[in-house]
Amino acid sequence: MPATSVIGLQWGDEAKGKFVDVLTDQHDVVCRYLGGNNAGHTVVFDGKTFKLSLLPAGVLHPGKTAVIATGVVLDPAALLNEMDRAEQSMGGPVPPEGTELLISDRAHLIFPWHLAEDAALETDRGDAGQQKIGTTLRGIGPCYRDKAGRTHAVRAGDLLRPDRFRRRVAEVCAFKNRLLGAMTASAGKGDFEPFDADEIADRYLGFAERLGPYLTDTTAYLLNAVDSGKSILFEAAQGSMLDIDHGTFPYVTSSNSSGCGVHPGSGVPERHLDTMLGVVKAYSTRVGGGPFVTELEDETGDRIRTRGNEFGTVTGRPRRCGWFDAVAARYAARLSGVDALAVSLLDVLDGFEEVKICEAYELNGQRTTDFPSHADDLAEATPVYRTLPGWSEDTTGCRTYADLPANARTYLETVAEVLGTELKYVGVGPDRAQTIRV
């Protein structure tokens, strides 16, 4: 049975959620395997809009199994809030009857001190005169840092051992109070209100009463699922250019958000993957700091932002907008072995007289199609554009590839060709129905 991976090839918000929703029917299991509630995935159908953050988009489909796998960093309060919100929008229980939700007992837990560290480190960077990373302030980086550091990490499975959990929270909390107290004092930022270990342990053990039934060894589940012929759909979060190892470091997130993260995040070996679907917007956006070669800080950028409603799902921040950066997307596609392409938000470019694709960078007087490994070089790079004629027609009603204006098809085919991938899907609106299968 086929396993499919859906990843973003830009800086996140490529419409991964929408394509996961579209592909869920063809799979038995939908698995989210990295990131945390920094992600915001939008799914629109039957006139309803769902904004999902930790729940895999498959949770909205009765009869499927939704897995939150090991590589995810889990804020239990955020997850429970999200489940409550989804219940209101669905008008019924989430997960719906017949849908299974499984959460990895190996997933690392986000605590209030992680949010405090995230804010303190961002402020410190700003105070030091450096550009902020512009994180979502959800404690993602500090939680992954503790996971890699091991000494002060707590995992979801610890919630099922209350005595051990209390002891662990007391130890870690005492250390975090010392750390954050010292950071606050040395920065002259006023008084630090220490965290109360007992209160936090009580609160988290309260969450465990609701989440406990879902906690399990998801790696064993997924490997058994593969062995028994079930098909798995992997739902990435963030985008390849935010990958901790391969992205625009340090302006990245703290996990492998390119296709490189599927195996470590889920435990399922790559040889089981049949399709690596890369999702790109028809243009580029980025939220937060960091170099952005094709950024348009002009009327064209504003026009894309307004037409594409480019404001962050999680933080509401305006997204930075620019022309399609094919150098970055091609690098991302090659890095993850992308063999199928989905281009979303094509409709946003309707009505532009001309549209541009950045097919090379000019760096140190040389033209290159290689993506620079250092952020300083990326900041120096200037875009070399290929300009194509735009289209005046409204594409939002198009339902087949042939319905699309000829210039839009040329644009899509140019993108696919530069990326060296096969165009499989085109998005012409947020609704599930506004999807063209090529």
Distance CA 278, CA 276 (A): 6
Tokens for 260?
A: 């490189």
What 3-state class would DSSP assign to 297? coil
Selection from ligand GDP, Mg ion, ligand IMO, none that 427 binds (CB < 5 to 8 A by kind) is ligand GDP
Residue 107 near ligand IMO by CB under 6 A? no
Nearest to 215 by CA among 38, 37, 69, 27: 69
Residue 322 near Mg ion by CB under 5 A? no
Q: Are strands 354-363 and 382-389 parallel, antiparallel or unpaired?
A: antiparallel
8 A C-beta contact, residue 324 and residue 415: yes
Residue closer to ligand GDP, measured from CB, 177 or 313:
313
Active site amino acids: 13, 41
Distance CA 120, CA 115 (A): 9
Residue 407 near Mg ion by CB under 5 A? no
The total number of residues shown for the chain amounts to 438
Taking CB under 6 A as the criterion, the residue among 4, 38, 248, 294 binding ligand IMO is: 38
Nearest to 67 by CA among 106, 110, 39: 106
Distance CA 396, CA 120 (A): 44
315: amino acid identity, one letter: T
Stretch that binds ligand IMO, among 34-42, 187-195, 222-230, 321-329 (CB under 6 A): 34-42
Q: Are strands 354-363 and 366-368 parallel, antiparallel or unpaired?
A: antiparallel
Residue 397 Cβ, how far from ligand GDP at the closest point, in Å?
A: 12
Residue 376 Cβ, how far from ligand IMO at the closest point, in Å?
A: 18
Taking CB under 6 A as the criterion, the residue among 5, 6, 9, 12 binding ligand IMO is: 12
**Phi, psi at residue 254, to the nearest 5°?**
-105, 25
Selection from Mg ion, ligand GDP, ligand IMO, none that 287 binds (CB < 5 to 8 A by kind) is ligand IMO
Residue 243 near ligand GDP by CB under 6 A? no
Distance CA 222, CA 231 (A): 10
Stretch that binds ligand IMO, among 132-140, 171-179, 182-190, 324-332 (CB under 6 A): 132-140
Stretch that binds ligand GDP, among 66-74, 117-125, 251-259, 345-353 (CB under 6 A): 345-353
Handedness of CA 337, 285, 322, 345 (dihedral sign): positive
Binding mask 292-331 for ligand GDP (x = CB under 6 A): ---------------------x------------------
Map the footprint of Mg ion across residues 12-51, applying CB under 5 A.
13, 40
Stretch that binds ligand GDP, among 112-120, 127-135, 182-190, 421-429 (CB under 6 A): 421-429
Map the footprint of ligand IMO across residues 41-70, applying CB under 6 A.
41
8 A C-beta contact, residue 420 and residue 330: yes
Q: Give the binding site for Mg ion (CB under 5 A).
A: 13, 40, 313
Q: Give the binding site for ligand IMO (CB under 6 A).
A: 8, 11-13, 38-41, 133-136, 138, 140-141, 237-239, 242, 253-254, 287-288, 313
